[in-house]
Amino acid sequence: MVNTLISKQVDIYRYPDEIEENSGSITIGDIHGNTVKLTHFLLRHNVIKFKDTVADPADAYQTFVDLYEQSGEITQLFLDTGFKLRTEEKNIQRYTVKIARYDELAGIARDQNQEREFAGLNRLTLVQGQQESLQLKATLQAGLAIAAQGLPAMLAEFEQFIDQIEVADRNTLVRLIGDELADRGSNDYFTLRLLGLLHAEGVDVNITISNHSNEFITAYENLINNDALTPSNVISDVQKPSFFGLKILYDAGLVTKDEITQLVNIAYKPSLKLIDYTLNEQGITLFTHAPVRFDVIRNIAHSVGVVYNDSSKEALATTIDKINSKFTQIVDENRVREYCNTNGIDDPANMTLADIAQTPLMNLIWNRWNKNKDTADARPDSVNGYQVRYYHGHDSYQSSYQHINNMDTSCGKESRKSQQERIDQARQAIQGNSADKIAAQNYLDGITLYKVLASDERSLNQKHEPELIDQEYTQAAAVAERAGFFVRLFIAVGIVLGATLLVSGLLAPLGLGLLGTVAAAVIAGGGTALLGYGAAKMTEPAPINTVTTLDEETDPFEEDNSPTYESSSVLAQLSTSSRPVKGQKITGVSQDSTSRGTSFFDERQPVTSVTMDDSSLAKGYKLSKSGDE
């Protein structure tokens, strides 16, 4: 088996200078919502490439980086302006209330307290303040309208980028350890479209759910249920600008609910997993977003109604497959927020054992690690005779144990502009006499640290029917209860039998003393209890086979000789009235009156029309009937 951990300094904002190995699967740590990082990763490992018609791939890549950063600047402008608008709206309301109070007091006979209150109000000053806030609000809204005028052209340029790339390798599994959406990047729409391209061309993608993923998923579920693209806000706005990059396009009417639904249902939901794994001859490799204890898997199995079994590496793999099958059902039913919420949890990063047992999925996406938690029994290197290895992201702590690897780095956590400014500052600190030399060096070491696992290990590729999993779980609970009943019954019988032997002295003629008689009584009682357990096992129903789909390649240790996936080009174009097609003009912000929750465009201004030279709007995903309305 091949397992190569690539760890090197890489500038993701430059076109890859080499093609790295992938060995059949590639795993990267936290994406940080950065589409450039995801794109660089896919290019570097030859999953995607620029088409032969692109004369200068490096230049085309740089154009995309510039576009991505332009999107980030627009997003930040909207966030900053939105905060200022909310402040001014509060000021306007405050002035309005005080002016009304002044007018009320001016028209009545005032008592002593009212007189003091009236003396503290200056109507002229209040009106002036109100007018200034109204004017500032109008100026801010005008600025947003101007910025919005650039959104259609930005989307047009992104369409051109998507049209320039294609899948180079359909046989490599791409694994993302999380934070792919609703993080510090600039626009989740770009990431969803890139995932859509991979899906359309048959590339397998596994994504372990993360705390930032959960922010996006909650917003999506709110969109489906309430027509409001509203996140949970467990993560602050400043830590999820990529989500707002998408929301700005949605509020502007440039990306529709139907398109988001198509992308999520077709290219995102099927990739989500709670835990991922691969098998090797010696054991199993586990992938989770946050670092978690091994026994959390048992808690997760119980929480989603799966019979837990870790007696062998294959048994544990099957347990994880069942967990993911049940999670897929939860995702498809838009009920993730029922399992991943902070209700009653004070600190999701450091949950108590009781909290973990109650809400293990929150522990899976939020847990932080430290030296005190890093004990040998927390993440054992072997279980029931097989080896266990762990890969995770989310946290900066690197365990001292050799079988545990942290894939998270700061790479891609900042824009290129911000990154370069801080790099310059760090270099100045190192060259000077600053006391922050160590911190500066740590920043330089981490900001461009690129970590990827290239491996040829495989999973069992099993899919299980959720209803059959439920039947199995119910049956197992009934069997356990029946076994407990028989054991308790026969223990009682054994106690009575043993006591009878002891009191009656029936064994005395055999020459047994008191201790021997007691021992014989205990053996009689224990033997009867075993008879009870045997009776329970004899009445146990036949096991349920929950497997409904087993991919062609079922042996994770067998060489992959499967044929290359053949796929036609993207099948269909998504019909989006507010998105341009070739030759169609965009009139700007949609005036659709459908409720979308809080919008950056509450008071919308017309946007100058622009003509798209190239569209191919559905590139990156296949059109199929949505499961969500």
* Residue 213 vs residue 585, higher pLDDT: 213
- How confident is the model at residue 612, as a pLDDT? 32
Determine the residue type at 73.
E
Q: What is the pLDDT of residue 440?
A: 87
Q: How confident is the model at residue 243 (pLDDT cuts 50, 70, 90)?
A: very high
- Measure Cα distances from 341 to 214, 328, 349, 370 in Å: 9, 18, 13, 23
Split at pLDDT 50, 70, 90, the class of 487 is: low
Return the pLDDT at 390: 98
CA-CA distance, 375 to 211, in Å (whole number)? Answer: 24
d(CA 334, CA 217): 8
Mean pLDDT computed over every residue of the chain: 83
pLDDT at res. 535:
57
183, 34 Cβ separation under 8 angstroms = yes
pLDDT attached to residue 494: 60
User: For residue 595, what pLDDT band results from cuts at 50, 70 and 90?
Assistant: very low
Element (H, E) at 493: helix 466-504
Question: Can you tell me the mean pLDDT for 46-50?
Answer: 97
Domain ranges of the chain: 414-447, 466-545
Distance between CA atoms of residues 383 and 386, nearest Å: 6
pLDDT grade for 41, boundaries at 50, 70 and 90: very high
Where is average pLDDT lowest: 142-146, 185-189, 566-570, 596-600? 566-570
pLDDT mean over 283-290? 98
For 99-112, what is the mean pLDDT?
95
Q: Which residues pair with 611 in a beta bridge?
A: 585
Q: What is the pLDDT of residue 270?
A: 96
Give me the count of residues in the chain. 629
> CA–CA separation, 119 vs 605, rounded Å?
42
Q: What is the pLDDT at residue 620?
A: 40
Average pLDDT rounded to a whole number, residues 450-460: 95
Please answer whether residues 186 and 37 qualify as being in contact, where contact means their C-beta atoms are separated by less than 8 angstroms.
no
Q: Among 92-106, 365-379, 448-462, 548-562, where is mean pLDDT lowest?
A: 548-562
**58-67, 234-243, 590-599 — which is least confidently predicted?**
590-599
The answer to whether 391 and 453 are in contact (CB under 8 A) is yes
Q: Identify the pLDDT of residue 505.
A: 60
Mean pLDDT in residue range 371-386: 95
| Residue 566 pLDDT exceeds 60 | no
Q: How confident is the model at residue 599 (pLDDT cuts 50, 70, 90)?
A: very low
> Is 241 strand, coil or helix?
helix
Q: How far apart are CA 121 and CA 533, in angstroms?
A: 84
The SS3 of residue 347 is: coil
pLDDT given for residue 629 in this prediction: 43
- Give the whole-number percent of the chain exceeding pLDDT 70: 77
Helices (H), 169-210: 188-200
pLDDT of residue 602 exceeding 90, the answer is: no
SS3 500: helix
DSSP result, 62-107? HHHHHHHHHHHHHHHHHHHHHHHHHHHHHHHHHHHHHHHHHHHHHT
Q: Is the pLDDT of residue 329 over 50?
A: yes
Note the pLDDT of residue 531: 60
Question: How do beta strands 404-406 and 386-392 pair?
Answer: parallel
Dihedral, CA of residue 140, residue 146, residue 150 and residue 152, to nearest 10: 100
Where does the pLDDT of residue 365 fall: very low under 50, low under 70, confident under 90, or very high at 90 and above?
Answer: very high
Q: How far apart are CA 451 and CA 27, in angstroms?
A: 9
What pLDDT is attached to residue 136? 97
Residue 550 has a pLDDT of 57
Cα dihedral sign, 530-536-541-545: negative
